[in-house]
Amino acid sequence: MEHTRALLAAALLTSAGCETDAATSTDNQELRSAVQVSSATALGDALANLGSGDEVVIVADGDYGDLELVGRNFTADVRIRVASGVRARFDKIRLTNCSHILVEDVWVRPTTAQPAVRIEGGSDITIRDADIGFADHAVGWSAADWNARVSVGVEVVDSNDTTIHRNYIHHVTTGVESNGVATDVNRNDINYFSDDGVRPHGDASMIRSNRITNNVKVNGSTNVGIQSVSRGPTGAVGGGRIDDLLVWGNTIIETTDPAKPFGAPLQGIGFYDGVYGDLFIAQNLVSVDAWRGIAVLGSDVANVQYNTVIDSDPLSPRRPDVSIEDHKDGRPPLGSRLRYNLAARVGSNPAVNAYGNIVTAGSDLPVFFEDHENYDFMPTSSVPNNRGSWRHRNMDGTLQDAARRHGVVAGGGLGSFMCDATSTDALCDLVSDEFELVTPNNALKWSALRPVEGTFNFSRGDAQVAFAQRNGQIVHGHTLLWSAFNPAWLEAYRGDGVALAGLMDDHIQTVVGHYRDEFPGVVTRWDVVNEPLTSSGAFRSDSIWSAVDSGVGPAAYISRAFHAAHTADPDAHLVLNDFGVEFGPKGDALFALVQEMKAEGVPVHGVGFQSHYDTSWTTVPTRDDISEMMEQYAAIGVDVHITELDVRIPSPVSAAEQELADSFYESVATACFVAPNCKTITSWSVSAANSWIDTLTGYTPYHPFDAELRPERAYWLLRAGQ
């Protein structure tokens, strides 16, 4: 799954990182080094003169013929994009044995029936935000016209780490076809196709959050929304194996146009020819009038779960299924699960672990869905929350989309991995796509910023804040003061309250001021003090900062730190952060402290509920506990932030402990979404691929995404109520 993790880099970063137009805020630096062209000749010259990479060619309005590059390999992405507000047309695009090229916003209209975009060989190619089709419309077309005038929208042949992202691909035979390793086809709108919507034939590929609609039947081909075919050593269909495919969050609708000519049944997702290893098909919506809704014939560990398969025409005899079946040669599926789907038919292969599925009838549609006739498949209260593709109104949504509907910001911790404005790490790109806020877990702590006395090193922190800035995200600065993670040289001052006060003031003013000036509007909030209390609610006597005394009492350094941070950035939201404060003596003590600080005019704006949970603990807060504590803070005008949410489970994981772990995520999410003063939910480690819990012996980490960056049940629970 290394390719799958690397693959997200090419796609998820682009999806959040380039929403801003290059002529505006984030690309001002880019424009100083960009080449702007307005003719095919100028474009050819600009491309011929590109250096090693990290360059931009901006194309003006006009027709440019073919875009063809052969053997062009760069060390960083070369970006070919269209100027804002104009249309640049290409007849076709051919990228052969190239690497690190990004093409965006182009308009491709082939003049002959050959693939509109063909990527062959090479690696790290991205096509995004393009309009790709063989016609603007097909009004008046005959079947012969369809067969003669169209071809594949995007064809990927033996190219690795290719990303096809957020394009409109229409009036084609097949929208996207790829045999390359680690192809990511995501958030595309594929409309009016005469064969298949997407054909993924390469290992470690992802088909996610696409909308595939309106097939036409103009020849003998069977139309399938997403179809994968393996080939054996001799090229025989079905004789091979494809591993690590992810098919997630797609919407496949047979027709949204009742007047569409050449209508015919569309099969939803069909993996009919081969052995599919480690296959994950989840959270897809399929609305078709065909026998096949989601079908896998031949699997070696497949999970088909949380999908909804709708019979779009209850009056016809066809009932689309969801099933995992034997290979065509008779081999039974291995290690496969079919669970929590909602479908017109559910398979019953005895070799498959099937449970939690619901079979629907045509009469159920108005009962189960808000407005199925208008393609609104939001489940009603009649559908259990863990059945089918839960809450389909926003199938291509993310955690940040779901949270935003409740006025909550979804955050992700950057952990120990590095992210910067040019990152190609899949974890970084997962964060850029799913979250509105990021927290540099370690890069802004004393030991990282001040490893040597007398100097500040902002390089690591600046890189991570620049990453957020590029992606249009905000940053929760963590943390200005803590009893831990301090440089060794600071220990020489332990007990010297006067010296520590000066060091503290200088540090806060320098760090907060730096990010206020260098990245205006990005670091909008700070954990000013982290973990000041013991489990009993007393002040930590082991904190080096406890020696600071300005004559105000045992919390003197806390109040002083907040005043210093407010002076450095009056617009910043200042937070007091601790764990185990949702209830009990420690929770009461923190509330009393904050209430006292507010009464004394200390600029404390929020509290952080870290929300680290362990399923082996005998006492944990309930949803009611969390809600009640949030209400107390609301009464004194203080916001609450879930700052470091995660769950650890003793190994091996039992079913009961897994259920308990799920309940923690559900309790936190539902309590926060209801509370008007709960403003943030941040997952401290977003994935088990890089979890601090791995440093603890005997524990299994449980985060929104697993080690392969696939969504866990926790992910869907955090999207609850969207």
Per the annotation, the verdict on 582 as an active-site residue is: no
Residue with tokens 């440093």: 695
DSSP 372-427: GGGTEEEE-TTS-TTSSSS-GGGTT--HHHHHHTTT-EEEEE-TTS---TT---HH
In whole angstroms, what separates CA 216 from the centre of its chain? 32
With b meaning 16 or more CB within 10 Å and e meaning fewer, what string describes 114-146?
A: ebbbbbbbbbbbbbbbbbbbbbeebeebeeeeb
Give SS3 for 535. coil
Per the annotation, the verdict on 531 as an active-site residue is: yes
DSSP at 281: E
| Residues 576 and 598: beta-carbon distance below 8 Å | no
- Helix, strand and coil content of the chain, in percent to the nearest 5, comes to 25, 35, 40
For the chain, report the end-to-end CA distance as a whole number of angstroms: 30
DSSP 300-352: EEEEEES-EEEES-TTSS---EEEEE--TTSPPPBS-EEES-EESEE---TTS
Q: Which of 400, 401, 422 is nearest to 410 (CA)?
A: 400
Rounded to an integer, what distance in angstroms lies between the CA atom of residue 486 and that of residue 20? 37
The residue type of 91 is D
Catalytic residue among 531, 582, 657, 708: 531
| Residues 221 and 234: beta-carbon distance below 8 Å | no
Other residues' Cβ atoms within 10 Å of the Cβ of residue 697: 6
Catalytic residue among 104, 644, 657, 666: 644
| Residues 426 and 5: beta-carbon distance below 8 Å | yes
Q: Which of 29, 74, 18, 21 is nearest to 47 (CA)?
A: 74
What are the residue numbers of the active site? Answer: 531, 644
